[in-house]
Amino acid sequence: MHSTEYFFTKQPSEIQAVFVSDLHLSAHTPHLCRAFIRLIDDLCVLPNLGSLYILGDWLDAWIGDDVYLSLDKQNQANHWLTPILISLKKLADKQVQILVMHGNRDFALSNKLTKLFGGAIIAEPYYLTTSTHRIRLEHGDALCTDDVKYQQYRAIIRHPVVRWLLLATPLSFRSKLGKDIKDKSHNDKRQKPATIMDVNHDAVQKALTDCDILLHGHTHRPAVHLLDNKTRLVLGDWRYDDRQVTAEIGLLIGDEVALANFSV
C-alpha cells in the first residue's frame, strides 16, 4: 500500500475524491484533530480534487450540534472543533464538495453544523458513478448483521422520531447518554466474539448487487477484498501511537479507488 505522500506528489492532478472514516475526533484527541487539519491542508493543493467524503464517525460521541452552536463567540473561538471547521471551510472555498455520512458515534450530527463549512450530510448508502465503476459508500455498521443486538439498537437510535426526541432532551442527559454509548462500544469490542463484530458475507454480497465497488469503514480492519470480480475496500480508523497518527484512507484516482496510508 502506497502512502498518501506518494500519490499527492506523483499523481496530484489525477486525484478526484478522498474518503476517510472513523476519525473519532473530540477534545480528548488533539493529535488526531491536528492530523486531520494537516490532511485538509494537503487536499487544498490538489488541483482537480472534487470531493471529500467523510464516511461516519468523524466526531466521537457527538450528542447534538447545539453542543457547539449554543456557545457564545468567545467559547466557540476556544473550542477544539473551531480550527477544524475553519480548515474545512478553506477546502470548500476551493470548490471541493465536503459530504458527511453518519456513523454509530455521530448520528446526531446535522446540516446545522456542516453548513458552517459549506458541507452537507448524505444518507447511506450513497452511490458514486465513474465512467467504469459504480461505487457504493456506507459507514459499514449496517453490514455487521451477525451482531443482532447491535442491529436492533441501531434501528431504534437511527429512527427519525427517536432522534428528534433525543435532541429535545437537555444537554446534560445527552452527555451522559453519549458516554454510555461510547463505554458500551468499548465493552462490546472486548466481550463480543470478533466474528460478529465484522461484516456478514451475505450482507456484503447483497450490497454489491447494484455496484461493483463497496467502500466502507466502521470495522477498523482496513483491507481490499476481491469478491467475484467485485471489490470491497475497508477504510481504517485514525490512531495515535508512538508519537504518530496513522490511518488508511481512500483515493479516487482517475476511475480507480485505492487505499493509501496517511501518517503524520
Please enumerate, by residue number, every residue annotated as part of a binding site.
22, 24, 57, 104-105, 139, 147, 185, 189, 192, 218, 220
Q: Would you state the cell numbers that stand for residue 18, as one nine-digit string? A: 478522498
Residue 100, beta-bridge partner list: 54, 121
Q: Which residues are annotated as a binding site for substrate?
A: 104-105, 147, 185, 189, 192, 218
Q: Would you state the cell numbers that stand for residue 195, as one nine-digit string? A: 466474528
Q: Would you state the cell numbers that stand for residue 230, as one nine-digit string? A: 467485485
CA distance 211 to 2: 25
**Which residues have CB under 8 Å from 45's CB, separation 6+?**
12
CA distance 162 to 223: 34
Residue 233, beta-bridge partner list: 215, 224
DSSP, collapsed to helix, strand or coil, labels residue 252 as strand
CA distance 45 to 55: 22
CA distance 12 to 5: 10
> Counting beta carbons within 10 angstroms of the beta carbon of residue 192, is it exposed (0 to 12), middle (13 to 18) or buried (19 or more)?
middle
Q: Which residues are annotated as a binding site for Mn(2+)?
A: 22, 24, 57, 104, 139, 218, 220
Question: Pairing between strand 256-263 and 239-241?
Answer: unpaired
| Side chain identity at residue 34, one-letter code | R
Q: Give Cα separations from 110 to 25, 167, 202, 237, 246 (angstroms).
A: 16, 11, 31, 22, 27
CA distance 212 to 44: 29
